Amino acid sequence: QVQLEESGGGMVQTGGSLRLSCVQSGRPFDTFTMGWFRQAPGKGREFVASVNWNGKSTSYGDFVKGRFTISRDNAKNTVSLQMTALEPADTAVYYCAAKWEWSQDFGHWGQGTQVTVSS
């Protein structure tokens, strides 16, 4: 019933920027904490960022170090990830995820969008 669709991935050079977007459908958007995860080839899925239902609380993975910003627009059922100062180590498939505000785990996932950063 919950559907997530990512967009905005692509190929950029080191130091470049990308903005990823995710649109949710099927449930009221403000019932979810939204998050971004990534998975590089041969590695496990890694937490990138999350934002709570009203956009007032955010969290980031340790590797982000101020380079990424997560935001949401509840009127458009959309969460975004603005990425700057991209590095080859950021190359991965990036997944949008949703978690019920009363749940511990992210249980809904998009198909992912590829981000490739060339050296």
**Pairing mode, if any, of strands 68-73 and 78-83?**
antiparallel
Output the pLDDT for position 28: 85
CA distance 117 to 57: 29
Extended strands (E) in 14-107: 18-25, 32-39, 46-51, 58-60, 68-73, 78-83, 92-100
With cut-offs at 50, 70 and 90, classify the pLDDT of residue 102: confident
* DSSP classification of residue 104: S
pLDDT tens per residue, range 14-64: 999 999 999 999 888 888 999 999 999 999 999 999 999 999 999 999 999
Output the pLDDT for position 83: 98
CA distance 86 to 67: 8
Output the pLDDT for position 20: 98
Output the pLDDT for position 30: 85
